């Protein structure tokens, strides 16, 4: 019985090491889907660092302004329709409906992480 326990423990340790290596070296550092990125931004409006995680570095000031305006309100995604390279996003803020065009930038993935994902997306503007 002790031998089976030791083998099981070794398998668990090797599995944990492999999973950790995958998360560090292969898992993408950003969003690989535009819709997931857009929904994640809306869902995480109240969290610290939402702009750094979701927006292009050059347009984070735009994000800060948008986030400050939407904080404290109930924001719900009504629809997110892909239109070419952009997404036409319709949200409700409290009871008012608003529409935005969300544009994206592609960030090239380098190193070992580029094996499975060549690029990931960040929001450029919400107009």
Q: Residue 100 sits in a domain of what CATH number?
A: 3.10.450
The model's pLDDT over 104-117, given as tens digits with 9 standing for 90+, comes to 998 887 766 666 66
**Residue 84 in domain:** yes
- Do the domain assignments include residue 87? yes
Which pLDDT score is estimated for 14?
Answer: 92
The pLDDT of residue 90 is: 93
Query: Which pLDDT score is estimated for 99?
Result: 93
pLDDT of res. 25? 63
Question: Do the Cβ atoms of 38 and 102 come closer than 8 Å?
Answer: yes
In the predicted structure, residue 86 carries a pLDDT above the cut 90: yes
**Section 69-84 average pLDDT:** 88
Residue 16 in domain = no
pTM summary value: 0.72
Residue 1 is assigned to a structural domain of this protein:
no
Domain-embedded: residue 4: no
pLDDT, the chain, mean: 85
Residue 8 lies in a domain: no
15 assigned to some structural domain:
no
Residues 70 and 63: their CA atoms lie apart, in Å, by 10
The parent domain of residue 57 ranges over 28-126
Burial class (CB in 10 A: 0-12, 13-18, 19+), 44: middle
Whether 49 is covered by a domain: the verdict is yes
- Number of domains composing the chain: 1
Phi, psi of 59 (to 5 degrees): -115, 20
């Amino acid at each position: 019985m002790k031998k089976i326990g030791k083998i099981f423990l070794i398998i668990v340790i090797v599995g944990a090491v492999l999973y950790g290596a995958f998360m560090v070296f292969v898992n993408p550092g950003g969003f690989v889907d535009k819709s997931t990125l857009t929904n994640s931004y809306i869902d995480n409006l109240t969290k610290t660092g939402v702009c750094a995680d979701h927006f292009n570095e050059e347009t984070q000031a735009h994000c800060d302004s948008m986030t400050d305006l939407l904080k404290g309100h109930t924001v719900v995604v009504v629809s997110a329709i892909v239109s070419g390279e952009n997404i036409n996003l319709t949200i409700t803020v409290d009871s008012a409906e608003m529409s935005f065009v969300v544009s994206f930038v592609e960030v090239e993935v380098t190193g070992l992480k580029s094996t499975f994902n060549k690029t990931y997306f960040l929001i450029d503007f919400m107009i």
